[in-house]
Chain A
Amino acid sequence: SQQGEEDPQALSIQEGENATMNCSYKTSINNLQWYRQNSGRGLVHLILIRSNEREKHSGRLRVTLDTSKKSSSLLITASRAADTASYFCATAPLNTGGFKTIFGAGTRLFVKA
């Protein structure tokens, strides 16, 4: 099974609301990243949080990391229709030598205007 698993699989909200996505993983990591994928496009990097960090912000994005629970959350505040996309967490397991990233199956976010 995959290292990272997102929850929920799909999320539908109104524009202006906040969206929260969660990611759980299995093994110790060096860092955890969140990516966005618009339909039919490649993935775009959003934010990276290292294992010694607990929270990180970037614009309307807030990411938390709890290494004791092996989980992370991505919060998108004041969502917009343009935030409609799939969001993936990706982990860099320590036992992979530092150059392999394992992706979860993603959360599909739909923001209604």
Chain B
Amino acid sequence: NAGVTQTPKFRVLKTGQSMTLLCAQDMNHEYMYWYRQDPGMGLRLIHYSVGEGTTAKGEVPDGYNVSRLKKQNFLLGLESAAPSQTSVYFCASMPGGFTDTQYFGPGTRLTVL
């Protein structure tokens, strides 16, 4: 099993450009999450999904959109990138039930100029 994979690993955008980050998991997990991590800080939840076709807002959802059309994939979109969105983005998945272990991807380092 590959676990949780993220594409791309690195990206540089100019202000106003758009992009989509892809997260894929092969563990048949129900729950999936997108976090951002800024220097010296923990992870902040952007959006999450509790199942195929569902999405919900986390702590810092503004400027991001998500979709989960297939159970194994969770996409994070930036419609109009801003320098404040420069961060490392992590995707995670969790089997289900009442809060279990989260499995993390390797991260995507995004720079917005």
Instruction: Tell me the A residues contacting B by CB distance below 8 Å.
Output: 2, 4, 30-31, 33, 40-45, 48, 88, 90, 92, 98-106
Question: How far is A2 from B45 in the complex, measured between Cα atoms in Å?
Answer: 11
Contact status B90-A30, CB under 8 Å? no
B101: chain A residues within 8 A (beta carbon)? 33, 45, 48
Contact status A99-B42, CB under 8 Å? no
Q: Is B34 in contact with chain A by the CB < 8 A criterion?
A: no
Other-chain residue from A4, A44, A98 in contact with B99 (beta carbon distance below 8 A): A98
Contact status A42-B42, CB under 8 Å? no
B41: chain A residues within 8 A (beta carbon)? 105-106
Contact status B99-A99, CB under 8 Å? yes
Instruction: Tell me the B residues contacting A by CB distance below 8 Å.
Output: 4, 31, 35, 40-45, 48, 50, 58, 90, 92, 94, 97-107
A98: chain B residues within 8 A (beta carbon)? 97-99
Q: Nearest Cβ in chain B — how far from A5, in angstroms? A: 9
Contact status B104-A44, CB under 8 Å? yes
Contact status A99-B58, CB under 8 Å? no
For the complex of A and B, the 9 pairs showing the least CB-CB separation, nearest first, are A42-B104, A92-B99, A103-B42, A98-B98, A103-B43, A105-B42, A45-B101, A43-B104, A42-B106
A48: chain B residues within 8 A (beta carbon)? 100-101
